[in-house]
Chains A and B, each alone.
Chain A
Amino acid sequence: MNWSNIFTIYRKELTDQLRDRRTLISVIVIPTFVMPLIVFGMGKVMSGVMKRAEAEVPSVAIIGGADSPGVVAELKKSPKFKIVATPEDWKERIGDKKLRLAIGLPEKFEAGLAAGAAPAVKIFHFQNDLNSGIAARAAEDFFKDLRDRTVTARLVERGLPKEIVRPFEFARENVAPPEKVGGSVFGGFVPYLVIILCFTGAMYPAMDLTAGEKERGTMETLLCAPTARVDIVMGKFLMVLTGSLSAMGLALLSMGITAMAGGAIMMGGSGATTQLGAAAKTSAASMGTIDPVGLLGVLAMTLPVAVLFSALQFTVALFAKSYKEAQSYIGPMVIVVLMPAMVGMLPGIDLNAKLALVPLLNLSLVCKEMLSGVWHWNYIAIIFGSSCLYAAVALALAVRMFKREDVIFRA
C-alpha cells in the first residue's frame, strides 16, 4: 500500500463529495437536524395534542338515571363534562368519536346508595383513544369522590373517625440519578439512531464512488492511472467511512447539545416563582440527561460497525452497473440493518452471552447499557472484537471485488 496515493485519492474524493448535494444532505444536514427536530418538533406536537385533549370538555351521555336525579344533577353541574342528550346509537357514536363517553347508571342507584349497597356503575369508553381515556379518568374520579363522600358521611353518622378507612398514606419518589433515567429514556433510541445514521451516512458516497463512477465512465479513467487497485479501494473506502462517521459524529454532537438545551430551556423557562422553578427542575431531572461518557462509549463501539457498513456498501454498490441498480441493492439492506437495531430499542431485552454474538443487536444493547452507566467489560470486549473481525473481512472482500475485472467491466 502506498499511503501517498491513498491520500491523493481520498483528498480528491472528499473534494468531489463535498460538491455533491445528495451526499451533503445525507451526511451533514439530516444527522445534524434529525434529533433536535424529533425532540423539539415531535415534543411540541405531542404536548400540543395533549394540551388540546386536556382542555376539551368531553361530551358525555348518561344512560338510565331517571330514578337518580341527584347524581345526574351533580354530573351536569361538573365542569369536567358536557352532558348531552342520550342518542339511540350511543355505542356507534363513541366509536365514531362524536361522543367521548357514556355513563351507565343502573336502576335504583340512588335508592340503593341510601339503603347501604348500590348496583355497579358502568363507564363506556373507546379503548386507547386519548380523549375518551381522559374523560373516563374524570368519570372514575367523579365516582371515587362520590364513594369517598358516602363513606365519610356514614362514618360521621356512626360517630367514627375518618382515619378508620385510611390508616396510612404512601407516595413514590424517584432516586435514580438523571443520567440513569436518561439512559433508559434515550438508551434504546440513541443506538438505534446511531446505527441508522452510520449506515445512511455511508450510503451515498458508497454508491457514488463505485456504481456512479462506472455509470459516468470515470472509473475507467481512474484505472488508467499507475495506482495499485488496493490503493484506490483504500482511498475510496476511507471517503465512505468519512461519510459514515461524520453522520454519526454530527448526530451524537447534536444529540448532546439538544439534551443540554432541552434541560436548560425547561429549567430556565419558568423561573418566575421558586416553587415553579423547583417543579421545572424535577421535571427536567425526571426526563433525564445523556451521560457524556456513555456517548463516548457508544462512539467507540460504533467505530468498527461503521467500517463494516462502509466496506459492505462499497462492495455491493461496486457490483452494480449504475446508480439506480446500486440503490435497488442497498435499499433492502437498510431494512436488514433496521431490524436488529429496532429490537434493541424494545424495553425489557437485556444483554446476555447469547445476544452478545448477534451483530448489530449486540451493539444496540451494549450502547443502551453504557448510556445508563452499566459497563459489562466482558461483553464489551466480545462485541468490539467480533465487530472488528467482521469489519476486516468486509474490507478484504471489497479489495477482492475491486480486483475482479468481471465486476469492474460488467457487460
Chain B
Amino acid sequence: MIEARNLTKTFRDKKRGEIRATDDVSFLVAPGQIYGLLGANGAGKTTTLRMLATLLTPTSGSAALAGFDVAREPEKVRANVGFLAASTALYGRLTAREMITYFGRLNGMADPAIKARIKQLSAELDMDEFLDRRCDKFSTGMKQKTSIARTLVHDPAVMIFDEPTLGLDVMTARAIVKFVRDCKGRGKTVIYSTHVMSEVEKLCDTVGIIHGGKLLAEGTLPELRTRYAEQDMEEIFVKAAGVEEAA
C-alpha cells in the first residue's frame, strides 16, 4: 500500500530561484497494483519517488508505505521498499554476490538466509554464470539483473521503479517490464515512473499524468480514454498536460 497525501517539495536553486519540483501530489496504490507515473523530463517524477523512498524529506504533505509514515519511521519504510532507479548503481569493485549480500545484511538478514535468498534469486534471474564476477565488468543486462536482485533481497512489499528502462537496449528493457509484471503477480504494491507511453499502456493499472510538479490527471486506462475521447496514450498525455506541440 502506498498513500501519498498532498506531497510537495520545493528546492532552492541559485539561478532559478524556488522550484516546486512536486506540487500537492496525492494518490493511492493498492497491493497487487501497478501505478504508472507518466511525465516528461523535469516533471517531478524522481523527486516524488525519492520522497516515497525517504531519500528526500517532503516540504509539506505526507506519505505512508506499507503502513509506515515516511517522516516518522523512515527506516521502517525503507525496510519495506525496493527502490530501483536508472541512477541507483552497483559497486563496481564488488561481485554480484557481495553486492546482494551487503544489502541483505543492511536489511538485517542473517547470512544463511541471505545465502538461500541469493540461490533462489540467482535461479529466477539466471545469474549463476556471473554471480562471482565483479560488477564493473558487467554488461547492462547483467547489471540490471544484479540491481533487481539487490532490491528484492529483503522481499519488500512495495516496489518503486524510477525510469528503470532508461538507456537500456530493447531486450533488457523488455526483461525489466516482464519483471515488474511479476512483482504485481506476487501481490506487491508497485509504482513505476516513465516517459515512455507504450510502457504505461503495457503495464499500468492506474496512470497518473504529472507535469510541472502537478498531478494533472489520474485514472485507469479505459477511464482516461473515455475522459479525453482519445485512444492513443500520447494524445491523452498531450491533452491532459495541456502542452501542444509547437505548430
Contacts and interface: CB of A to CB of B under 8 A. Distances in A.
Interface of A: 5, 8-9, 12, 15-16, 19-20, 216-218, 220-221, 223-228, 405-406, 409, 411
Contacts of A19: 93
A21 to B, nearest CB: 10
Given A225-B103, A406-B12, 6 more contacts: A8-B105, A15-B98, A217-B87, A221-B89, A225-B78, A226-B77
B94 interface: yes
Contacts of A216: 89, 92
Given A224-B53, A224-B83, A217 B88 contact: yes
A177 to B, nearest CB: 50
Contacts of A218: 88-91
A124 B233 CA distance: 96
A322 to B, nearest CB: 14
Contacts, number: 69
Nearest to A19: B93
A406 B10 CA distance: 11
Question: What secondary structure prevails in chain B residues at the interface with A?
Answer: mixed
Interface string B70-86: 00000111110111010
Contact of B55 (A8, A20, A224, A406): A224
B107 A225 contact: yes
A309 B196 CA distance: 48
Contacts of B78: 224-226
B244 interface: no
Interface in B42-66: 50, 53, 55-57
B211 interface: no
B67 interface: no
B94 A220 contact: no
B91 A16 contact: yes
5 contacts: A217-B87, A220-B87, A224-B82, A226-B107, A406-B12
Interface string B101-121: 011011110000000000000
Contacts of B83: 224
A16 B75 contact: no
Contact of A5 (B11, B12, B106): B106
A238 to B, nearest CB: 16
Contact of B85 (A8, A16, A220): A220
A226 B13 contact: no
Contacts of A226: 75-79, 106-108
B95 to A, nearest CB: 10
B194 to A, nearest CB: 18
B51 to A, nearest CB: 10
B94 A224 contact: no
B106 A225 contact: yes
A227 B105 CA distance: 10
A224 B50 CA distance: 9
A16 B93 contact: yes
A16 B95 CA distance: 10
Interface string B206-246: 00000000000000000000000000000000000000000
B161 to A, nearest CB: 12
